C-alpha cells in the first residue's frame, strides 16, 4: 500500500481511495490484473488523522485521558491548570491530569488563563483538529473556541439540558433523580448549551454516592468520548442543537452547603449525605465537636421531639429526629479520626452520646 498526496499517485496505481488528508493507492499486477486489496478499518484511519489536544484537571478528567490512550488514540499535547498549593506545608501539587500526562511522556502546558494573547498563540500553534475538554476548569473565550478545526469537545456528566453547570453529579443525587448520564457536546459561549454529539444514560443505584456516581460516569463518559472521536470525521456523527426544554442549573458546591439542617425531612438529609460523599462530606455539631456523617438511612417512625434530638443509641445506629421522620446515622467521623461504624464509635465514646443528646 502506498499513500501520499495527489501528486504522488502514479501510473502504477489502478485506483486510488480518497480520504480526508490522504490518498491510498491500490496497485495492480500486470500479469493477471488482480487487485491486491488491503483492508484498513475506518476507525484506525480516523485515529491517525485527527490531531487531538486534551484539556482537563481532576481525577475524573485523568480517567478519560487514560482511556483515550489505552484505546490507541494519539494525544498530541495536554492542557491543565497550574499546580496548586496543598496540604499543611502548602507545597505545589500537580493535577491528576498532569501527573498522568508526564507519566505517559506527553507534552503538558499550564496557562493561567486563556484570555490573553499568549494563550491564543499557544492554541494556534497546536494546529489541532479538536480539543477535548473534560473538567478543565478554565473559562474559554469565543476566539479560543473557534481556533481548532472542529472546535472544543466536552464531556459533561449529566443528560443535558438537565443539570447544566459545575456540579451535576451532586445535584442529581440531591434531587432524587432515578437516571442521569453523560453528554458529549461541542462547546459554545453558553454554560453547557452547545450542540450534542452523543448521550448515554446511567440508572442510579438507591445507595449511589457522589464518589460512586463520579466513578461510573467516568467509565461511561470515556466510552462515549472514544465513540465520538472515532466517528467525528464521518457522516455517522454530527452534533444536534441542544434544546432548552427541561433545562436546570447545578451551582457549584461550597463547604457550607454540607452542614446538616435537622429541620429538613429525613429523606432529604440522607440524599445530602450521599451526594457529598466524598466531598465536602455532610457534618453536624454536637457537644462542641464537628462530626462528619458518612452514611445514614431514613426511618419512617413518627416523633414529636425537636429536630436534632437523639432518640436512640444502639450499635446499629444513632437515631436522630428530623423535620419529618428520623434518621439513623450508621457511619461517622470525629475530628482527626477515622471513619467508623456507630458500633465502633460506641466502644470508646458511648458516654459522649449519653451526655450530649442533641445535634445543633
Residue ranges per structural domain of the chain: 2-40, 45-231, 255-355
Percent of the chain with pLDDT over 70: 86
Highest mean pLDDT among 82-96, 264-278, 287-301: 264-278
Residue count of the chain: 360
Backbone φ and ψ for 52, nearest 5 degrees, come out as -110, 135
Sign of CA dihedral 71, 73, 75, 81: negative
Q: Which fold has domain 255-355?
A: 3.10.25
Cell 500500500, located at residue: 1
Residue-level pLDDT at 168? 98
DSSP helix/strand/coil, 153: strand
Residue-level pLDDT at 19? 41
128 pLDDT exceeds 90?
Answer: yes
DSSP H or E run through 59: helix 59-70
The 10 Å CB-count burial string (b at 16+, else e) for 57-80 is bbbbbbbbbbbbbeeebebebbbb
DSSP secondary structure code for residue 259 in this structure: B
Beta carbons within 8 Å of 271's beta carbon, 6+ residues apart: 173, 174, 175, 176
pLDDT band of residue 28 (cuts 50, 70, 90) is very low
| CATH H superfamily, domain 45-231 | Formyl transferase, N-terminal domain (3.40.50.170)
Residue-level pLDDT at 15? 39
DSSP secondary structure code for residue 249 in this structure: B
For 78, the grid coordinates are 495536554
Strand segments, DSSP code E, in the chain are 2-4, 13-19, 22-27, 52-56, 75-79, 84-86, 91-93, 108-109, 130-134, 152-156, 179-186, 196-203, 283-286, 289-299, 310-314, 317-321, 326-333, 340-341
Tell me the whole-structure pTM to 2 decimals: 0.85
Specify burial of residue 34 (Cβ count, 10 A radius: 0-12, 13-18, 19+): exposed
Residue-level pLDDT at 17? 40
CB 265 within 8 A of CB 323: yes
For the stretch 54-94, pLDDT in tens is 999 999 999 999 999 999 999 999 999 999 998 888 899 99
For the stretch 142-164, pLDDT in tens is 999 999 999 999 999 999 999 99
Question: Residue 200 and residue 186: Cα distance in Å, rounded?
Answer: 16
Amino acid at each position: 500500500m502506498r499513500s501520499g498526496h495527489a501528486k504522488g499517485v502514479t501510473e502504477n496505481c489502478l485506483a486510488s481511495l480518497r480520504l480526508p488528508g490522504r490518498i491510498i493507492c491500490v496497485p495492480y499486477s500486470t500479469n493477471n490484473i488482480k487487485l491486491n486489496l488491503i483492508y484498513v478499518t475506518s476507525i484506525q484511519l480516523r485515529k491517525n488523522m485527527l490531531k487531538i489536544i486534551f484539556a482537563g484537571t481532576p481525577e475524573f478528567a485523568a480517567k478519560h485521558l487514560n482511556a483515550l490512550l489505552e484505546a490507541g488514540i494519539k494525544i498530541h499535547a495536554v492542557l491543565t491548570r497550574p499546580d496548586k498549593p496543598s496540604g499543611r506545608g502548602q507545597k505545589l501539587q500537580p493535577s491528576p491530569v498532569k501527573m498522568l500526562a508526564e507519566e505517559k511522556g506527553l507534552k503538558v502546558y499550564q496557562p493561567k488563563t486563556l484570555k490573553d494573547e499568549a494563550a491564543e498563540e499557544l492554541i494556534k500553534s497546536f494546529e489541532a483538529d479538536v480539543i477535548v475538554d473534560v473538567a478543565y476548569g478554565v473559562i474559554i473565550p469565543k476566539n479560543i473556541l473557534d481556533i481548532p478545526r472542529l472546535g472544543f469537545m466536552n464531556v459533561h456528566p449529566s443528560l443535558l439540558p438537565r443539570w447544566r453547570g459545575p456540579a451535576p453529579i451532586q445535584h442529581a443525587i440531591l434531587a432524587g433523580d432515578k437516571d442521569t448520564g453523560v453528554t458529549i457536546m461541542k462547546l459554545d459561549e453558553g454554560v453547557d448549551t452547545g450542540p450534542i454529539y452523543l448521550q448515554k444514560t446511567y440508572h442510579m443505584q438507591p445507595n449511589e454516592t457522589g464518589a460512586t456516581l463520579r466513578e461510573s460516569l467516568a467509565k461511561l463518559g470515556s466510552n462515549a468520548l472514544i465513540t465520538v472521536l472515532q466517528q467525528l470525521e464521518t457522516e455517522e456523527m454530527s452534533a444536534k442543537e441542544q434544546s432548552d426544554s427541561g433545562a436546570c442549573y447545578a451551582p457549584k458546591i461550597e463547604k457550607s452547603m454540607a452542614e446538616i439542617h435537622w429541620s429538613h425531612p429525613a429523606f432529604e438529609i440522607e440524599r445530602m449525605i450521599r451526594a457529598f460523599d466524598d466531598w465536602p462530606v455532610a457534618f453536624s455539631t454536637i457537644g462542641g465537636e464537628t462530626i462528619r456523617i458518612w452514611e445514614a438511612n431514613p426511618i419512617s417512625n413518627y416523633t414529636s421531639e425537636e429536630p436534632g434530638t437523639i432518640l436512640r443509641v444502639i450499635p446499629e445506629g444513632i437515631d436522630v429526629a428530623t423535620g419529618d421522620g428520623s434518621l439513623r446515622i450508621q457511619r461517622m467521623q470525629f475530628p482527626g479520626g477515622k471513619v467508623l461504624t456507630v458500633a465502633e464509635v460506641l466502644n470508646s465514646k458511648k458516654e459522649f452520646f449519653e451526655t450530649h443528646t442533641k445535634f445543633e
